[in-house]
Chain A
Amino acid sequence: MDSAYLIETIIKVVVVLLVFSALAGIGTYFERKVLAFMQRRLGPMNVGPYGLLQVAADGVKLFTKEDIIPTNVVGPIFKIAPVITAATAFMAAAAIPFLPSFTLFGYEVHPIVADINVGILYILGIMGVGLYGPLLGGMASANKFSLLSAARGAAVFISYEVITGLSILAPIMMVGSLSLIDFNNYQIENGWIIFNMYGVGFVAFILFWIAAFAETGRTPFHLIANDHEIIDGFGTEYSGMRWGLFFIGEYANMFFLSFVIPLLFLGGYGDGSFLGAMALLGKVAFFFFFFLWTRAAWPDVRPDQLMWLCWKVLMPIAVINIIIAGFVMMF
């Protein structure tokens, strides 16, 4: 391993970390504004022009707030749980190609930290590990609501992971690779996967999208930290920056899934031109906006309804989808 490669990788890691930490903050601003406009409110207006510095104010607050470790919690686990959520969210980003490769000062840059051949498997696996944050934090908190949240976390986890895994099997069968760059190249030649193979790709896309909501804990499946039922769930006992890490992890996860969905199903960055890169960012913006949009429009489901949906409705559809994909590929 030569040192140039090492330096390049470190720079990429730092850039991804900084950009998406900042985006997570700005994401909260967008969420507040979009929700406010949809509910005929103004949202944050007083800190900076149009409330733009609200993010900075929140950051200062989170960083300077006292970090309270309650008496009866299981200390080490309580302390490490938020780090798991935030760290796994960013680790998952390692295999995501954010943009097509471009030339900067005569040096070709690949905006992907590591193009590993099990890309999508790695991303989903690490994102799955991210759920240990709420699970461990909730169980270590010595709080009934946190415990309920951890139990719900486990239930949600085993429900949606089945759907994410099964739904992307059909596209993987089409592409024959797990790397997101191979996914992108396949879609340059054969068109977007959602239009491929008589609707199999489309069904897989819908299933993955639904599971993405459970994965990020966004509104229709906002069960783990459901404010109006179990206070803040696993976050009830957390304060200051530990709680902030949960938050950054959640929002970074939303952004990364907003990248993964178009890369898997909607053609990604296309042929690698500037237009293709902009199209990818546009698709990402749409999927992120959709996460906020549903929060304004849809009610939450109960945990048992989510499990019913995942196990009894979506899983059979996913399995049938794979079988159809197999038959189409065979004949």
Chain B
Amino acid sequence: MNNEQFNNRDVSENGYYLVDIEDYPTDGWGKFKRVVKRTFRGELFVGLWVVLREMIRFDIHTVSYPQEKMPIGPRYRAVHEMKRLWESDAERCIGCGLCEKICISNCIRIDTKIDENSRKEVSEYSINLGRCIFCGYCAEVCPELAITHGGEYENASDQREHFLIYEDMLTPLDKMKAGTQLEFEGFGAITPHEDERVKKTPLAY
């Protein structure tokens, strides 16, 4: 969609005009004339016609929510997801802990250990959805695009502290094999055509 029309703030040339409001009558005769005019101009019937027209047209805008759902934008910030690498299906998260650091509502806790290959590995990772304000900072700060927001907005819990653990968020392997993991287009995502735009650092300058 083109945003140009909205960026133009010059209201004088966009078909805007001042509404013509008559002065209010001050004397009795003026008030009487206004009453007569309003009575016989049939304004009331205009209103009746408008609602009847809408009824006959039957252009219903209701979304029967549990049965029908509105499409949500790809940038929508709902419950978090943990992504895998496309190349190796390995987890993207490197356990740097930046998301825990930046989280302004302190709802992320992460614990790491050194695994048998001497690599850092996430041992515990949980998000308290009762505290999370879905600001998107974790997704923005993540250097590996590992933690992102997803589109699942229907949460119900029997307690305020609804915890989400690493395994819940991680893309399942079968989904990965099918190639249906969706990249998040919101906070922290790579903008389109990033490869052409990025200035590569040369070895010698």
Interface of A toward B, CB cutoff 8 Å: 34, 37-42, 45, 293-294, 296-298, 313
Contacts of B11 in A (CB 8 A): none
Checking A40, A42, A297 against B64 with a beta-carbon cut-off of 8 angstroms, the contacting residue is A42
Which A-chain residue is minimally distant from B66 (CB atoms)? A46
Decide if the interface of chain B is mainly helix, strand, loop or mixed: helix
The proximity string for B residues 42-65 relative to A, scoring 1 for CB distances below 8 Å and 0 otherwise, is 001001101110110011111010
Checking A45, A293, A298, A313 against B52 with a beta-carbon cut-off of 8 angstroms, the contacting residue is A293
Which B-chain residue is minimally distant from A220 (CB atoms)? B44
Q: In the bound complex, how far is the Cα of B50 from the Cα of A297, in angstroms? A: 8
Q: Which of A40, A41, A294 has the most CB of B within 10 A?
A: A40
- Count residues of chain B with CB under 8 A from any CB of chain A: 15
CB atoms of B64 and A37 under 8 A apart: no
Which A-chain residue is minimally distant from B39 (CB atoms)? A313
Which A-chain residue is minimally distant from B62 (CB atoms)? A42
User: Which B residues, 52 to 94, have Cβ-Cβ distances below 8 Å to chain A?
Assistant: 52, 54-55, 58-62, 64
Contacts of B51 in A (CB 8 A): 38-39, 293, 296-297
Checking B52, B55, B60 against A42 with a beta-carbon cut-off of 8 angstroms, the contacting residue is B60
- A150 CB to closest chain B CB, in angstroms? 29
- B38 CB to closest chain A CB, in angstroms? 12
29 CB < 8 A contacts A-B: A34-B55, A37-B54, A37-B55, A37-B58, A37-B60, A38-B51, A38-B52, A38-B55, A39-B51, A39-B54, A40-B59, A40-B61, A41-B62, A42-B60, A42-B62, A42-B64, A45-B64, A293-B48, A293-B51, A293-B52, A294-B48, A296-B51, A297-B44, A297-B48, A297-B50, A297-B51, A298-B44, A298-B47, A298-B48
Q: In the bound complex, how far is the Cα of B58 from the Cα of A40, in angstroms? A: 7
Contacts of A313 in B (CB 8 A): 35
- B43 CB to closest chain A CB, in angstroms? 10
Contacts of B44 in A (CB 8 A): 297-298
Which B-chain residue is minimally distant from A43 (CB atoms)? B62
Contacts of A34 in B (CB 8 A): 55
Q: In the bound complex, how far is the Cα of B45 from the Cα of A297, in angstroms? A: 9
- A42 CB to closest chain B CB, in angstroms? 4
Q: In the bound complex, how far is the Cα of B60 from the Cα of A234, in angstroms? A: 34
Contacts of A296 in B (CB 8 A): 51
Which A-chain residue is minimally distant from B63 (CB atoms)? A42
Q: In the bound complex, how far is the Cα of B58 from the Cα of A34, in angstroms? A: 11
Contacts of B55 in A (CB 8 A): 34, 37-38
Which B-chain residue is minimally distant from A40 (CB atoms)? B61
- A264 CB to closest chain B CB, in angstroms? 23
